[in-house]
Amino acid sequence: KVDQIRELCQSLIHTAQQSGARVAVIEHSERMNIAAANALLKTLEEPGSNTLLLLQTDTPANLLPTITSRCQKIAFITPTRNEIIDWLAQQNLLPKADAQGNRHDVTWCLGVVGGPIKLAQSLASKHYQQLLDYRHDWSASLQSGHLQNSLLKLSEQQIIDALKVLYLYLRQYVLKSNKLNPLIQSRVIELAGDVMHMSHKLTTMANVNTQALCQNYVLQFRHVLALT
C-alpha cells in the first residue's frame, strides 16, 4: 500500500547502520497498487548513494511500465523439481513416507507458495497442511456442489491461497480427464484463468465475501460439466 512504500522511501533517506549499504527488498512487487507504485518512482530514479532496491515478482507483466523502465531486469532460472526435492530432503522437511514407502509430491504447490524457499517455510509450519486441506476441500466441493470445511471460513488473507489451489486443481483436472471433450476442456481452462485473474485482483481489494466467491466458482464448474 502507498503508506508502506512512503515509509520505506523515508527510511532510505537515513544513514545506514554501521555506515554500510542500504538495501530494500519488495517481495511480490506486482501487488503494489497504482498509488504505491507512483510513490516509489522518485526513489527508484534517485535512490541515493550506496542504496539498492530489489523488486521481486513472478508476474513482471503486472508491474507498471514506469516501474520496469527504471529497473534492471534479472531473470532467475528455477531449479528442477528433482533438485528441489533433494534440497528439501537435505533440510529434513519432506513428509514421512506411507507404509509402502511412497511420498506424495510436495512440489505441486510451488506456484501457490512462490518458490522452493517459500515451500520450505510452508513445510516447516502449518501452512502446507492448510494448502492440502484446500485441495481436498475443493475436490469435495466441486463434486458435491456445496462448500466443504476449510472453504467455509476463509479469511481475506487466505482466499488468495485458496484460489491459487483451485487454479492448480482445475488445470490438473483437465490433464487427468482423458474423456472430456475439447469444448469442456477449454471451458474448464477458461474458468481456471478467471480464478487466477481474480487471485491477482484480490491483492488490492478489501471486504470480499470469500464464501460467496468460492461458491460461485463451484457452481460455474458444475455448470461447465453439465454441458456434456
pLDDT tens digits, residue range 203-219?
777 688 999 999 999 99
d(CA 150, CA 178): 29
Task: Work out the pLDDT band at 16, boundaries 50, 70, 90.
Answer: low
pLDDT digits (tens, 9 = 90+) for 32-71: 999 999 999 999 998 888 899 999 998 888 899 999 999 9
Please say if the pLDDT value at position 162 is more than 70: yes
Q: Which residue has the higher pLDDT, 157 or 83?
A: 83
The candidate with the shortest Cα–Cα distance to 109, out of 98, 122, 126, 91, is: 122
Please say if the pLDDT value at position 17 is more than 70: no
Instruction: Tell me the sheet residues that pair with 51.
Output: 22
Please say if the pLDDT value at position 202 is more than 90: no
Please say if the pLDDT value at position 198 is more than 70: yes
Residue 40 contacts residue 68 (beta carbons within 8 Å): no
Let me know the angle formed at the C-alpha of 138 by 223 and 80, rounded to the nearest 5 degrees: 115
Instruction: Tell me the sheet residues that pair with 49.
Output: none
| Predicted local distance difference test score (pLDDT) of residue 48 | 83
Residue 115 contacts residue 27 (beta carbons within 8 Å): no
Contacts 24+ apart (CB under 8 A), 167-176: 167/111, 167/192, 167/195, 167/196, 167/199, 168/108, 168/109, 168/111, 168/112, 168/135, 169/135, 169/138, 169/139, 169/142, 170/195, 170/221
The candidate with the shortest Cα–Cα distance to 199, out of 80, 62, 74, is: 62
Q: What is the mean pLDDT of the chain?
A: 90
- Cell (9 digits) for 121: 517455510
pLDDT digits (tens, 9 = 90+) for 67-121: 999 999 998 888 999 999 999 999 999 988 777 777 788 999 998 998 899 999 9
d(CA 16, CA 134): 43
Strands 22-26 and 51-55: parallel
Alpha helices in 95-209 (DSSP H): 110-113, 116-123, 127-144, 158-176, 182-201
